[in-house]
Each structure stands twice: as C-alpha cells, then as structure tokens.
Amino acid sequence: LWPWLLASSGLSALVQLVTLPFFPDSPSYLLIQKGNEEACRKAIRKLWGEGDHQAEIDDIMKEKAAAMTSTKSLRVLEVLREPSWRWQLYILITLMSTLQLCGINAIYFYSFEVFHTAKFEEYLIPYVSLGIGSCEWLSSILCSTLIDRFGRKVLLLGGYTLMCSVLALLTMTLSLQHQFLWMHYFSVILIFLFVIFYGIGP
C-alpha cells in the first residue's frame, strides 16, 4: 500500500486545484498590483458581505502609496552591492547554508542502515522510517506554536546546539555499537531526537 500512501499527498493538491477557482483574488492584490478598484470592491463584498467597505479600500490605498514611495526594483547585483542590506544577506546565506549542511539529509540516508544494524525486522524498517517523518511533521507543528513565545533566534540556536550534541553522541554510539548490544537502540533513539530538534529548530 506504499504507492497509495505516497499518492495521497496529491489529494490536497487536487482539492486546491478544484476549489481555488471559486475563491476571489486578494483585494489588496487586485487594487495594488492590478489597479482594478471595481474588482477589489467585488472581492471585498464576496469575502465580507454587503456594506460600506470604503475604510478598507482607503487602507489598501495607503498601503499602495507607502509601497510606491519606499521601494524600487533592484537587480540581483544591485542588491548584492547595497551596503544597507549586506548584513541581511549574510544572515540569509548563513541560515540557508546551515540548513543544507546541518546533517538531516545524512541522517535520512543512513537511518535505514542504523535500523538494519539494530536488528529491526525488514518489514518494520519502513514503518520506523515513517515514524521519523511523523516526528519531523509533529515537531514542525510544535515549532509554529513555540516561535511566538521564544522567537526565532532562541529556537535556531537551541535547535542547532541540541542537534550538534546529538550528532556527537550518535558518532560515539555508532563507533561502540559492536561492543555493546544496547548501543544500536540508543542510536535509533538519537536519530529520532535529531529529527525532532531539527523540526523544532531550523
């Protein structure tokens, strides 16, 4: 039934494809991007019902005026040369690099081997792998509730610190797995912890 499970992710895309044509465009998009005030009024009436929505339209017009005065289109090289945006670029490049190099892909790649070495039955390994994916999904949901309370910086620093500690322990347990039988199971637990910290942090 694995093909059906994988195909089920297309169900939400199908629902979106069928339902999205019946939803109105965003009023601010229609007014700011398209410049179509009548379509904007129609969309507002469809979303909020009949009534006088001039105050909302005035707010969108103020937003449009602010956007026109504060922004200008820049090419990629101009963005790279702009000194006022240099630190934002450094932070963005650092975040994206650490996200790609944090080890999550290696964990997913080698987890099958770790489960196999831990003497899991062949038919159980796909379910354990599914458990890892579920842990990442649940921890990502948990992250969305924690981010407002603790902020991105705390979650990123805490997540990477815990992931680093787990990787150090995992390296140790994989080195000692032939000496102690219980090390295999400890490695499996560490893989789950790593994925949870990845979902909550980065």
Mean pLDDT within 141-152 = 86
Tell me the per-residue pLDDT of 77-122, one tens digit each, with 9 for 90 and over.
Answer: 887 888 888 888 888 888 889 888 888 888 888 888 888 877 778 8
Tell me the per-residue pLDDT of 150-197, one tens digit each, with 9 for 90 and over.
Answer: 888 898 899 999 999 999 999 898 888 788 878 888 888 999 999 999
Which residue, 139, 130, 141, is CA-closest to 5? 130
- pLDDT value at residue 18: 93
Assign 67 a pLDDT band (cuts: 50, 70, 90): low
Tell me the per-residue pLDDT of 185-198, one tens digit each, with 9 for 90 and over.
Answer: 888 899 999 999 99
Contacts of residue 139, defined as CB under 8 A and 6 or more positions apart, other chains included, come to: 195, 196, 197, 198, 199, 200
Pick 69 or 164 by higher pLDDT.
164
- pLDDT value at residue 165: 94
The C-alpha atoms of residue 44 and residue 30 are separated, in whole angstroms, by: 10
Tell me the per-residue pLDDT of 29-65, one tens digit each, with 9 for 90 and over.
Answer: 888 888 888 888 888 888 888 877 788 878 888 877 7
The C-alpha atoms of residue 110 and residue 171 are separated, in whole angstroms, by: 12
List C-alpha distances in Å: 159 to 50, 70, 122, 170.
Answer: 48, 36, 32, 16
- pLDDT value at residue 71: 59
pTM above 0.75, yes or no: no
The C-alpha atoms of residue 3 and residue 10 are separated, in whole angstroms, by: 12
- pLDDT value at residue 112: 83
Does the structure show a pLDDT above 80 at 66? no
The C-alpha atoms of residue 154 and residue 5 are separated, in whole angstroms, by: 35
Exposed / middle / buried, residue 187 (Cβ in 10 Å: 0-12, 13-18, 19+): buried
Question: What percent of the chain lies above the pLDDT cut of 90?
Answer: 12
